């Protein structure tokens, strides 16, 4: 279980997140909703250790994450699909994926310094790659291509595939639908439902509240850094306040 308690994040004088608390139970899909600048991304970044929290705690399976740096958090089974994809544009699709699974090789000198062709014989690595290629056949076709030459939708697949290469138990996604055509948004959400069935726990930050609540079990709503509402997806969809502010329904 992921537990965030009274977490605050500050950039200089700007209070990006104020005393936010939330929980994600194993096997749940939880959505964090809110407008641009509500602090959703900052919250995710603080959970994975990319931004220091000035106050509050984050724990995942009885382990405190808030004192760890990002690469240490990766080793606890938490993976992030970052805002804006953040693929490595001048490296190949395959290299992006290999690096996504870096944590499996981090302590092994033979893996780190041996030729990549040796590494590719690693059974575990092949399994992980195959799994990603099964989810995203497009990535297999383009594995030799530079990641920067992919379309936005393909880069989103790559960013997701890269996170999955780490074999995470908790997957955090930051605005996976941004800039995608409606059919691709639907595919992305379907994919998350599939991943949850395989046992993944998912925390999803979204501006597209409709798309997110369709697949989420529960949701939290953020405004100017605070969590202002929470409930099951059904409750949030029905709440007049939500309908007015985020769903565009009067």
Partner 1 sequence: MPQYALSDYIQLLVSGVSIGSIYVLIALGFITIYNVTGVINLAQGEFVMLGAMLAVTLLGLGLPFIPAALVSVALVTCVGVITHRLTIQPARHAPEVSLIMITLGTAIAVRGLGLLFWGTIPYALPEFTPGAPLQIMGAVLSRQRIWIMGVALVVLIILYLFFEHTLLGKAVRACSINRGSAEVSGVDSSAMSHLSYGISAGMSAVAGIVIAPLTLVTYDMGLGLGLKGFIAAIMGGMVSAPAAVAGGLVLGVLESFTAGLLTSGIKDGVAFLALFVVLVGRTMNLSMRRRRS
Q: Which is nearer to partner 1, 163 or 222 (CB)?
A: 163
Q: Which stretch binds partner 1 (CB under 8 A): 9-17, 34-42, 100-108, 217-225?
A: 100-108
CB of residue 89 vs partner 1: minimum separation in angstroms?
A: 7
In sequence order, which residues have a C-beta less than 8 Å from that of residue 125 and are 6 or more positions away?
A: 98, 101, 104, 119
Q: With binding defined as CB under 8 A, does residue 40 bind partner 1?
A: no
Distance CA 97, CA 164 (A): 9
Q: Is 193 left (phi over 0), alpha (psi -120 to 50) or beta?
A: alpha
Structure tokens at 122: 């690693």
203: helix, strand or coil: strand
Q: With binding defined as CB under 8 A, does residue 79 bind partner 1?
A: yes
Q: How far is CA 219 from CA 54, 99, 125, in A?
A: 24, 31, 34
Q: With binding defined as CB under 8 A, does residue 181 bind partner 1?
A: no
Where does residue 5 rank: exposed (0-12), middle (13-18), buried (19+ CB within 10 A)? middle
Q: Which is nearer to partner 1, 24 or 74 (CB)?
A: 74
Q: With binding defined as CB under 8 A, does residue 169 bind partner 1?
A: no
Q: With binding defined as CB under 8 A, does residue 86 bind partner 1?
A: yes
**Which residue among 6, 67, 69, 190 contacts partner 1 (CB under 8 A)?**
69
Q: With binding defined as CB under 8 A, does residue 203 bind partner 1?
A: no
Interface contacts to partner 1, rule CB under 8 A? 48-50, 69-71, 73-75, 79-80, 82, 86-91, 95, 98-103, 105-106, 111-117, 119, 162-163, 165-166
């Amino acid at each position: 279980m992921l537990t965030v308690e009274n977490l605050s994040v500050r950039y200089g004088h700007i209070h990006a997140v104020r005393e936010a608390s939330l929980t994600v139970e194993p096997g749940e899909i939880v959505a964090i909703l809110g407008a641009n600048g509500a602090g959703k991304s900052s919250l995710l970044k603080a959970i994975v250790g990319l931004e220091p929290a000035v106050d509050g705690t984050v724990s995942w399976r009885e382990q405190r994450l808030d004192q760890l740096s990002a690469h240490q958090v990766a080793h606890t089974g938490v993976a992030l699909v970052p805002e804006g994809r953040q693929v490595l544009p001048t490296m190949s699709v395959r290299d992006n994926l290999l690096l996504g699974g870096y944590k499996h090789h981090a302590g092994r000198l033979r893996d780190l310094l041996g030729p990549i062709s040796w590494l590719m014989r690693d059974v575990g690595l092949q399994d992980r790659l195959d799994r990603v290629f099964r989810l995203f056949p497009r990535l297999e076709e383009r594995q030799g291509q530079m990641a920067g030459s992919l379309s936005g939708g393909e880069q989103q697949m790559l960013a997701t595939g890269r996170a999955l290469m780490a074999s995470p138990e908790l997957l955090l996604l930051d605005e996976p639908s941004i800039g995608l055509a409606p059919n691709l948004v639907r595919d992305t959400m379907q994919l998350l439902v599939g991943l949850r069935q395989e046992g993944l726990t998912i925390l999803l930050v979204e501006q597209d509240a409709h798309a997110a609540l369709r697949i989420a079990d529960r949701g939290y709503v953020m405004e100017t850094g605070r969590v202002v509402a929470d409930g099951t997806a059904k409750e949030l969809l029905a709440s007049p306040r939500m309908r007015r502010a985020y769903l565009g329904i009067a």
